[in-house]
């Protein structure tokens, strides 16, 4: 059984640019959640996708958006990058409301 | 709004020195409390889910317990490979949209040989 995978592993962008992060969910999982983890802090919920629809959103501005595809993989898009967007972005997949399993994360640095 | 507080922030142990990590929570309706382990620069690794007060789960040197207001992660006779950040999270209640987890800040554990 393949676990959750994310790409790329690392990314460097400059302020104002746009970025797309990708996540492949674990086999059999239909729900993907995205989290932002700043250095030394716990992960913060960005949003969740269930069957290609957004199903819950945290306190993040609209420039954070996402998609889920028919194969349940997902993308996180961030527009107009700010320095504070520098963080580890984590994707987690689950079967509906069950336990979330995390991928290795994408480290984003905004200069 | 759900809140999760973990203590201590950091813990230095000698190999074999048992200890406990605390996770205090306030939620409008607990659906589940989760413990994860996170190594530096990696994603959280699932350890346990607890659903009701009095429940206990064990895995190797780790044991998680749950009361109505807090959870404890007991580390018995730790080894250097137990060094990691341990994260506690609560799951949003059934009536809330989404399956969001609210995390605490984590406890960084360092086990010295």
Please give the pLDDT value at position B97.
Answer: 63
Taking CA atoms, B55 is separated from A22, A100, B46, B63, B91, in Å, by 37, 20, 17, 11, 16
- CB–CB of B4 and A42 under 8 A? yes
Coil/strand/helix, residue A71: coil
Return the sign of the alpha-carbon dihedral for residues A78, A84, A86, A87: negative
* H helical segments located in chain A: none
Kindly state whether A34 is in contact with chain B, defined as any CB-CB distance less than 8 angstroms: no
Can you tell me the distance from the alpha carbon of A105 to that of A87, in angstroms, rounded to the nearest whole number? 10
A41: which chain B residues are within 8 Å (Cβ-Cβ)? 105-106
Tokens of A75: 């993308």
Over the stretch B14-29, which tens digit does the pLDDT of each residue have?
Answer: 999 999 999 999 988 8
Please give the pLDDT value at position A1.
Answer: 58
Beta bridge partners of B48: B35
Kindly state whether A7 is in contact with chain B, defined as any CB-CB distance less than 8 angstroms: no
With bands split at pLDDT 50, 70 and 90, how would you rate the model's confidence at A97? confident
């Amino acid at each position: 059984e393949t676990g959750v995978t994310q790409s790329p592993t690392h990314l460097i962008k400059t302020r104002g640019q746009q970025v797309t992060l990708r996540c492949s969910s674990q086999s059999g999982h239909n729900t993907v959640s995205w989290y932002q983890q700043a250095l030394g802090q716990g992960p913060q919920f960005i949003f969740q996708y269930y069957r290609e629809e957004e199903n819950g959103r945290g306190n993040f501005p609209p420039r954070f958006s996402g998609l889920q595809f028919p194969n349940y993989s997902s993308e996180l898009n961030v527009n107009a990058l700010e320095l504070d967007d520098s963080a580890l972005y984590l994707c987690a997949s689950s079967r509906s409301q069950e336990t979330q399993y995390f991928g290795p994360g994408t480290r984003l640095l905004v200069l | 709004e759900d809140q999760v507080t973990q203590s201590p922030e950091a813990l230095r142990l000698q190999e074999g020195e048992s200890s406990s990590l605390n996770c205090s929570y306030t939620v409008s309706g607990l659906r589940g409390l989760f413990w994860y382990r996170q190594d530096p620069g990696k994603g959280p690794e699932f350890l346990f889910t607890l659903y009701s007060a009095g429940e206990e789960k064990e895995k190797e040197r780790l044991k998680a317990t749950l009361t109505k207001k807090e959870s404890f992660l007991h580390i018995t006779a730790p080894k250097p490979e137990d060094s990691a950040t341990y994260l506690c999270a609560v799951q949003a209640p059934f009536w809330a949209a989404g399956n969001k987890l609210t995390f605490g800040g984590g406890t960084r554990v360092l086990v010295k040989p």
